[in-house]
Amino acid sequence: MTDSAVALSIVAAVVVCVILLGLLSARGVMMDPEQYMVGGRSFGAILLWLLMAGEIYTSFTFLGAAGWAYGKGAPAFYILCYGAVAYIISYFLLPPIWRVATRYHLLTGPDFFAHRYRSRALGVIVALVGFVFLVPYVTLQLTGVQILLRVAGYGSLDATRAVALAFLTIALFVYTTGLRGTAWASIAKDALVLLGVLFAGIALPIHFFGSPANVISRVMETHPHWMTLEPGSSGMGTRWFVSTVLLTACGFFMWPQSMAAAYSAKSDDALRRNAIFLPLYQLMLLLIFFAGFTALLVLPGLKGPEADQSFMLVIQRYYPPWIVGFLAGAGCLAALIPASGQLLAAASIFTKNVLGDWLQTATSDRARMRASRLLVLVVAVLALLFWLYEKATLVDLLLIAYNGVTQFFPAAVLAFAWRRTSAWGVCAGIVAGVIVLGVLALAGIATVGGINAGFFALLLNAAVCVAVSLFTPAPTESHLEEFQAAAAGTAKS
C-alpha cells in the first residue's frame, strides 16, 4: 500500500469506529425534542465534562492554535487565557440559567431570553443571530478536516470531495442520534485527541530539539520578538490581547451548542464541577503551542492559511504514514464531533424559535422532530457552500463567529443583575452590536486604537440596552419574582 492509502485507511477507520459508538449509544432511546436537543437533561458530571469539552476543543485546538503559534507568536497566547476566564464566568452564570431552563422546560438558548424578557420576538432575533454566526464556526471545522485529509493524502486526494462526504456522513449521524450520540462520541474523540496532542506537543520537540524548553530557547534566539507582545496600540499588542481575551471569554458559553450542553446537565452542581475541572483541557493548548513552535523551526516559511497545517506537515515529512493517519484521524474527530453539536444547535434554535414560536409551523413534538432533523441536513449544506467560497485561517473564522455570539452576553448577565432590563433594550443592544460588527467587517477594520473592534460592539450593545431599557417597560413584577425564584432554586413545584 502507498503511504497515502495507509494514512487515509486509518483516518477512515478511526472516524467510522467513533461514529458507530455514537450510534450504539442512541439505540433503544425514544427520541422526543427534549431527548434529541438536550439529551433528556440526564448527563452527569463526567459525561457533561466530556460533552462540553468536545464542544469547546475542536479542530481549532488541534490546528489553529499551532498555526497562530507558528505565524503570530505571542498573540496566540490569548487562546490559552480566555478559556480560564470563561470558566470563572460559567461557575456563576450557568447554574442559574440551568435552574430556569429546567423549571420551565426550555430547549434552546433563545428560549431563555424569550422567557426572561417575555418576548417571543426577542427569542427569534437571538435564534437568527445565533444561526448566522454558527455557520462560520461550522466552516472552521470543515477547513480543519480539509487540512488534515490533504496531509493524510500526501497530495493525492481530492480533499474537497472527501470533506463533503465526511461532513454529510456526520450530518446523517446527528440526524439519527441527536445530542446523546454527540456526547458519547466525545468520549472516544477526547481520548484520541489527547493522545495526538501529547505526541505533537511532547514527542515532536524531543525528537528535534531534545525538550520543549529547548524549543522555546531556540525560538527566542532565532525570532527574538516572537514571545513578546507589541506595546500599546500597535498591531496585536497588549490592548488587543486584553480586549480579545475579555471578548471571547464573554462569548465562550453564549454559543447555542454550549447552552444546549448546559441544559443537558443532571444538576446545577454538575455545571459548577465542570467549571472547576474544564481548565485542565487548557493544558492541551500549551502542548499544541510547543508543536507550532517546533514546526516554525523545522519547516519555516509557511504563510497565511498554510500555517494552520504546519505541525502536520512536519509529521508527514518525518514520520511513518500510520502515525500521520492516527493524528489526522484524531484531528478529524476534533472537527466532526463538535460540528455535530453545532449542526444540532443550529437546527434546534431555528426549529423551536423561528418555525415553532414565530411561524407556528412546528409546534407539536412530532413536527419539531421532523423539522429539526431536516434542518440538520440543510445547515450542513449551507456550511459546505460557505466553506467552498470563503477561505480564511481557522483563527480568523473563530473570531468572526465569537464577535457575533458575544452580543448575547449583556442580556444574559442583566437577566439576573438588573430587573429593569426590557426586551426592547436587549433587542436594540443586540441589533446595534451586530450592525457595528457588519460595518467594521465590510471596512476591514479589525482593531481600533489597538483594541479588538468587536469589543467596541459589545460595549455599545450594553450601553444601548441600558439606555433603551430606561424608557421601555420591563416584564411584570410577578414574572420577575417567579424568574428570580426559579434562578435561585426556591420556586415552588
CA distance 312 to 307: 10
Is residue 30 predicted with pLDDT exceeding 70?
no
pLDDT of residue 5: 92
CB 473 within 8 A of CB 456: no
Q: Is 440 within a domain?
A: no
Q: Which residues contact 79 (CB under 8 A, 6 or more apart)?
A: 64, 65, 68, 285, 395
Most confidently predicted of 72-76, 147-151, 381-385, 424-428? 424-428
Kindly give the residue spans of alpha helices, DSSP state H, lying in 406-452. Answer: 409-417, 423-443
Three-state secondary structure call for residue 237: strand
Question: Mean of the per-residue pLDDT values for the chain?
Answer: 87
Predicted local distance difference test score (pLDDT) of residue 373: 87
Mean pLDDT of 431-440: 92
74 Cβ contact list (under 8 Å, min separation 6): 226, 227, 228, 229
pLDDT of residue 232: 64
For range 256-275, the mean pLDDT: 89
Of the pLDDT bands very low, low, confident and very high (cuts 50, 70, 90), residue 433 is very high
Residues 6+ apart with CB under 8 A from 19: 169, 170, 173, 185
pLDDT for 447 equals 86
pLDDT at 290: 95
Q: Is the pLDDT of residue 395 over 70?
A: no
Q: What's the whole-number mean pLDDT along residues 217-241?
A: 86
Give the model's pLDDT for residue 390. 65
Q: In the chain, pLDDT over 70 holds for what percent of residues?
A: 94
Mean of pLDDT values over 40-67? 74
Kindly report, residue by residue over 139-152, the tens digit of the pLDDT. Answer: 878 888 888 888 99
All three cell numbers of 268, joined, read 446545577
- Say if residue 31's pLDDT is above 70: no
Domain count, the chain: 1
Is there a contact between 291 and 66 (Cβ–Cβ < 8 Å)?
yes
Is the separation of the CB atoms in 160 and 146 below 8 Å?
A: yes
413 within some domain: no
Q: Residue 252 corresponds to which cell in the numbers above?
A: 465562550
Residue 6 near residue 322 (C-beta atoms within 8 A): yes
- Give residue 123's identity as a one-letter amino acid code: G
pLDDT score, position 393: 59
In this prediction, residues 204-223 reach a mean pLDDT of 94
Residue 485 lies in a domain: no
Look up the pTM and report it: 0.89
From CA 242, how far away is CA 377, in angstroms rounded? Answer: 38
Residue 407 lies in a domain: no
Of residues 194, 200, 196, the one with CA closest to residue 289: 200
Beta bridge partners of 240: none
The burial class, CB within 10 Å (0-12 / 13-18 / 19+), for 258 is buried
Phi (first) and psi of residue 138, to 5 degrees: -65, -40
SS3 at position 265: strand
Q: Is residue 416 part of a domain?
A: no
* Residue type at position 291: A
Best CA proximity match to 378, nearest among 31, 158, 177, 134:
134
- For 220, the grid coordinates are 527566542
Average pLDDT of the residues in 319-345: 89
pLDDT at 26 over 90: no
- The answer to whether the CB of 276 falls within 8 A of the CB of 112 is no
pLDDT digits (tens, 9 = 90+) for 169-210: 888 888 888 877 777 788 888 888 888 888 999 999 999 999
Strand-pair partners of 230: 237
Q: What is the pLDDT of residue 394?
A: 61
How confident is residue 285, by pLDDT bands cut at 50, 70 and 90? Answer: confident
Full residue range of the structural domain in which residue 285 is found:
3-394
Specify the residue for cell string 493525492: 156
Q: Which three cell numbers stand for residue 304?
A: 497565511
- Does a structural domain hold residue 417? no
From CA 238, how far away is CA 450, in angstroms rounded? 8
Mean pLDDT calculated for residue range 266-285: 88
In the prediction, which pLDDT does 214 show?
Answer: 96
pLDDT digits (tens, 9 = 90+) for 69-119: 999 999 999 988 998 899 999 999 999 999 999 999 998 999 999 999 999
The whole-angstrom separation of Cα 116 and Cα 205 is 51
Residue 164 counted as domain residue: yes
Amino acid at 412: A
CATH number of the domain that residue 386 is part of: 1.20.1730.10
Amino acid at 59: S
Would you place residue 242 in the very low, low, confident or very high pLDDT band (cuts 50, 70, 90)?
very high
Residue 91: inside a domain: yes
Spatial CA neighbour of 15 closest among 177, 189, 200, 196: 189
> CA gyration radius for the chain?
22
Residue 56: other Cβ atoms inside 10 A: 21
The predicted pLDDT at position 29 comes to: 65
